[in-house]
A and B are shown apart, each in its own frame.
Chain A
Amino acid sequence: MKQLLVIAFTVLSTVAYSQKYFTRSGEISFYSSTPVEDIEAHSNSASSIFDVETGAGEFSVPMKSFQFEKALMQEHFNENYVESDEYPKGTFKGKFTNIENIDFSTKGEYPVNVEGKLTIHGVTKEIKTSGYFIIDDGIKGEAQFTVSPSDFDIEIPDVVRDKIAKVIKIKVSMNYKEFKR
């Protein structure tokens, strides 16, 4: 009986304390829009883990995984702007601050607030944004925020200044699955 209790307790505490969700194929896109030109790039290779109990979450995306329509733009992005040979990934480490308001066992769409540290091009900035968790058969997390290249020490040369927006929109969409060890 005592053993059974120990087992039951162990199982329960594992469920309660380490319910993590993950993906390796999260989508991150960014959009630069100016009167001269619209540029977008997409990656489907972002990895992410978050903890349902604490709300702690992070993601990591290989900069080389961003695909542009034009190979030339992709080359400029990697070589001149984010310098991906030197800084191969973008990372975010933070927290869903209102995780307690989300009922992960009931289907629906829940607004979430996210804050944390975003690192691109070797520079870390605090960001704060909001998004949604859509609870269905899995958990889908979506968020949008904006960044300025200058905040991350990314210099845009004069010749292309009109073609690259001062503020870049970033969309994040992750289909999470339960993490089983």
Chain B
Amino acid sequence: MKKFLIALVIAVLVVAAYGIYQWNKPHRDVENEDTKLVLTSDSLQAFYGQSPDSAKKMFLDQAVVVTGEVQSIEGDSTTTVLLPGAACSMESDQLKINKGDRVKIKGICTGYDDLFQEVRIDRGVLIK
């Protein structure tokens, strides 16, 4: 009986710990996520333009690294870096980059925006 009670208490604790872990589990750490999806921003746009369905399967919600030349930097609520064919919402507002720089941005691909015909990257960070 005693053994049974001990086992029960342990089981309850394990379930509770798992619940608490789930409830408080950290957000995705995009910056340190491994990814093999490294490509130029305009080729990512071309993927989406040519075969939206397979592009969705391959890129949506994945960490990607896009490279390209900065077309413009805009935005007020969040800084958005425009690369050819991709708009990247950045985590930081203090970016030491200028129009014309070639940059590498890592972030989550959140899909294709038909309004501007470009791919959206969220939670972007500059990488070397």
Mark A residues whose CB is within 8 Å of B: 22-27, 44-45, 47-49, 58-60, 62-65, 67, 70-72, 74, 78, 84-85, 88-89, 91, 173, 175, 177
Residues of B within 8 Å of A45, CB to CB, are 78, 80, 89, 110, 120, 122
Stretch at the interface among B22-30, B33-41, B94-102: B22-30
CB distance from A176 to the nearest CB of B (A): 11
Determine if A72 and B76 form an interchain contact, defined as CB atoms under 8 angstroms apart: no
Distance of A180 Cα from B15 Cα, bound (Å): 57
Residues of B within 8 Å of A85, CB to CB, are 60-61
Distance of A137 Cα from B121 Cα, bound (Å): 28
Determine if B77 and A27 form an interchain contact, defined as CB atoms under 8 angstroms apart: yes
Determine if B115 and A49 form an interchain contact, defined as CB atoms under 8 angstroms apart: yes
Chain A CB within 10 Å, residue with most, of B76, B82, B110: B110
- Given A60-B113, A62-B122, A71-B26: 12 more A-B contacts, CB < 8 Å: A24-B82, A24-B89, A58-B115, A60-B114, A64-B61, A64-B110, A65-B89, A65-B122, A72-B22, A85-B60, A85-B61, A91-B114
Distance of A74 Cα from B77 Cα, bound (Å): 21
- B66 on the A face (CB < 8 A): no
* Given A27-B77, A71-B28, A85-B61, residue A44 in contact with residue B89 (CB < 8 A): yes
Fill in one digit per residue for B51-73: 1 if any A CB lies within 8 Å of its CB, else 0.
Answer: 00000100011000000000000
Determine if A25 and B56 form an interchain contact, defined as CB atoms under 8 angstroms apart: no
CB distance from A83 to the nearest CB of B (A): 12
Residues of B within 8 Å of A64, CB to CB, are 60-61, 108, 110-111, 122
**Cβ contact of A25, chosen from B26, B74, B116, cutoff 8 A:** B74
Secondary structure class of chain A's binding surface, majority of residues: strand
Residues of B within 8 Å of A91, CB to CB, are 114
Residues of A within 8 Å of B111, CB to CB, are 62, 64, 88-89
CB distance from B89 to the nearest CB of A (A): 5
Residues of B within 8 Å of A22, CB to CB, are 116
**Cβ contact of B110, chosen from A26, A27, A48, A65, cutoff 8 A:** A65
Residues of A within 8 Å of B74, CB to CB, are 24-25, 177
* Given A44-B89, A72-B22, A72-B23, residue A60 in contact with residue B78 (CB < 8 A): no
Return the chain B residue nearest A69 by Cβ: B27
Fill in one digit per residue for B7-30: 1 if any A CB lies within 8 Å of its CB, else 0.
Answer: 000000000000000111111100
- B87 on the A face (CB < 8 A): yes
CB distance from A99 to the nearest CB of B (A): 19
Residues of B within 8 Å of A173, CB to CB, are 77
CB distance from B47 to the nearest CB of A (A): 15
Determine if B26 and A24 form an interchain contact, defined as CB atoms under 8 angstroms apart: no
Residues of B within 8 Å of A27, CB to CB, are 77
Task: Mark out the residues of chain B between 86 and 128 whose CB falls within 8 Å of any chain A CB in the assembled complex.
Answer: 87, 89, 108, 110-116, 120, 122
Distance of A58 Cα from B60 Cα, bound (Å): 23
